[in-house]
Structure 1
Amino acid sequence: MNNPQLRQNIIEELDFEPSIDTSGIAVAVDDGIVTLSGHVGTYAEKVNAERATWRVKGVKAIAQEIKVRLPFEKKVNDDEVARRAVDILAWNTWVPRDAVKVRVSNGWLTLTGSVKWDYQRREAEKAVRKLSGVLGVTNEIALAPAIQATDIRQRINDALKRHAEVEAGRIRVDVSDGGHVHIEGDVDNWDERQAVERAVWSAPGVQFVEDRVRIL
């Protein structure tokens, strides 16, 4: 697909996404490498713009340069952002109570602590990024180690085989001590690449994933 057509497809997909105000977003494309720039009003819009872009066939990589620009009247003090984040995490039944700590500096929110499962870590980030006043989120929540490397690798391979979207034979998995997983291989599209990552993270004991899976 040529650059102008891919750029137009991305613009149309962004316009189609109701959660994004696209008036301040610019899109540039060079051989499947997409640069998103400009500004949006919330951090959630920034995240959703990147996700919408990944949905477009032909996108190989994204340079995310969108800035969150809060209207002056919507700016919130760090202590208020922190209080809201603590409250929303306490209300979230997917996140273990008192497992996640919150730090806020100039609108940038950092999550720390430890949980057992990756979905709990992702759910914590999902909960706080939609809060008013948040300019960005750094997720430093750790996963508690539980299983030996050989067992982790077997569980990942079994999970890949169960996924209808994934051709497991095209994916290679290596696991080192401490739950560090290296995956590589080829997939046909971004949805399949995400399915591979979800399968890997579904295995208990996974602490870190180095994803070198390529989109053909």
Structure 2
Amino acid sequence: MKTDSQLQKDVVDELSWAPDVEHGHIGVAAHSGVITLTGHVPNHAMKMAAERAARRVRGVKAVAQDIEVRFASDPKNSDDEIAQRILSLFAWDVSIPDEKIQVKVGKGYVMLTGEVEWNFQKSAALKAAGRINGVRGVMSYLTVRSRPTVFDVRERIVAALKRSAEVDAKGIDVHVEGSTVRLGGSVNA
């Protein structure tokens, strides 16, 4: 007798082998020979083909059919469809660093995680995710990487020079322009 995990694997393999089944959105669970099929397909014929494929596997005693038929014209509201639409929208929006943001969707709620360089990127991601049909809410766990200002850099260098026992900080001028720091003046050797 097959274990539940082996039976589940065999049914998944049979679904992927069936030419009349798009198995990408079909989930399979197995318990004591009973197979539960979940997910969605684009038409009723494919739903029935998935059930027939599951019944062909040796060891399947019964099939619980929970596959939903969704037409292409129906609103895209399942969690996987919402996640895919958000990722596509992020990829097309140049203000969103899509490679730095992870998207998780559960029961219509979107969670964004990752690190962005600017606050406008965080705002753009939140706004874009909220525009997708079927989204019930967006939670942001995005962090904005803080960038030091020119003043902060200068003050930190001056403070480090003052802390140094080997250097007389009074004779050193610190100039910061963009990402370039120039030290000038004279020191005692």
TM interval, shorter chain, is 0.3 to 0.5
TM-score relative to the length of structure 1 = 0.34
TM-score relative to the length of structure 2 = 0.39
Q: Which has the higher contact order (CA 8 A, sep 6+)?
A: 1
